[in-house]
Amino acid sequence: MLQNKFKILIVGDVFGKVGREVLMQTLTSLRKKEDISFLIVNGENTTNGRGINKNHYNFYNDLNIDVITLGNHSFDELEIYSFINESNNIIRPYNLIGKYPGVGYKIYSKFGLSISVFQFIGNTYMKERNENPFLIAEEVIKRVESDIKIVDFHAEATSEKVAFGYLLDGLVDLVYGTHTHIQTVDLRVLNKGTYYISDIGMTGDLDSVIGIEKDSSIAKFKDGKMKTIIKENYNLTQFSALLLDIDLDTKKISNVERIYLVNGKD
């Protein structure tokens, strides 16, 4: 770590076994190269593409992952009910409707700074209907006191994501999208100083349709029938992430860059 700054790495949706392997292999070199001090991972697709079980939660802990955000598959693996409330690093969408365990944000301390990480889930084109994030996010975020505020917005429609970014502009330091598994190129600073990107992408098998075997996915679009087959091809992989520079003097993000590695290379 440089004397006046530290780095945060945010990794896009880790999908299945390939995603876990790519994450494990890439982190070793990336941590050394970039001197990363805080790590956030979207883990809602960790176990067979849908949810996260106890074994894979322990996998993240063994990698010293600071924060695991989830999404619409948060509770697909029923094991999560047995450990989510005892965890100190899992964040599920704040605006889920129903009495779900877990929390929608947490505050962490690093090098004398407080970092809050929130997650909200969108409604557009999602099977699940959740409490409208546009009606509750501002109030929740305003009452949380921290130096750095980071929001994972797990949503399908880019229009909803962009609108949500503008809603939170000036209230948080970063709004980043997850769920669609395709890294977008619209990383920018909004009018009031919030960094924004529509989706940070996926970590896993590139030679697939967002993690699903190609022919299986094509069949779905042809006739509506689909047998979900998780692709496990290690010949062509992707690692998608954001790298944040945090200035310890200003207590703000000083720079954000996209990382996209195919088979470990830029």
Read off the pTM: 0.94
> CA–CA separation, 257 vs 81, rounded Å?
35
Task: Reply yes or no on whether 154 is catalytic.
Answer: no
pLDDT of the residue at 70: 98
Q: Rounded CA gap, 195 and 173, in Å?
A: 6
Instruction: Name the burial class of residue 110, with classes exposed (0-12), middle (13-18) and buried (19+) by CB atoms within 10 angstroms of its CB.
Output: middle
Q: What is the pLDDT of residue 235?
A: 81
Q: What is the pLDDT of residue 223?
A: 83
Q: Can you give the residue ranges of every domain in the chain?
A: 7-262
CA–CA distances in Å: residue 247 to residues 58, 144, 252, 264 = 31, 21, 6, 28
Q: How far is CA 153 from CA 43, 58, 87, 93, 137, in A?
A: 14, 24, 21, 8, 11
Which is the catalytic residue, given 73, 154, 179, 181? 73
pLDDT values of the chain reduced to their tens digit, one per residue, 266 residues: 566 889 999 999 999 999 999 999 999 999 989 999 999 999 999 999 999 999 999 999 999 999 999 999 999 999 999 999 999 999 999 999 989 999 999 999 999 999 999 999 999 998 777 999 999 999 999 999 999 999 999 999 999 999 999 999 999 999 999 999 999 999 999 999 999 999 999 999 998 888 888 888 888 888 877 666 666 667 899 999 999 999 999 999 999 999 999 986 76
Residues 6+ positions from 47 with CB-CB distance below 8 Å: 16, 53, 56, 77
Q: What is the reported pLDDT for 219?
A: 83
Domain 7-262 in CATH 3.40.640.10? The answer is no
What is the distance in angstroms between the CA of the first residue and the CA of the last residue of the chain?
23
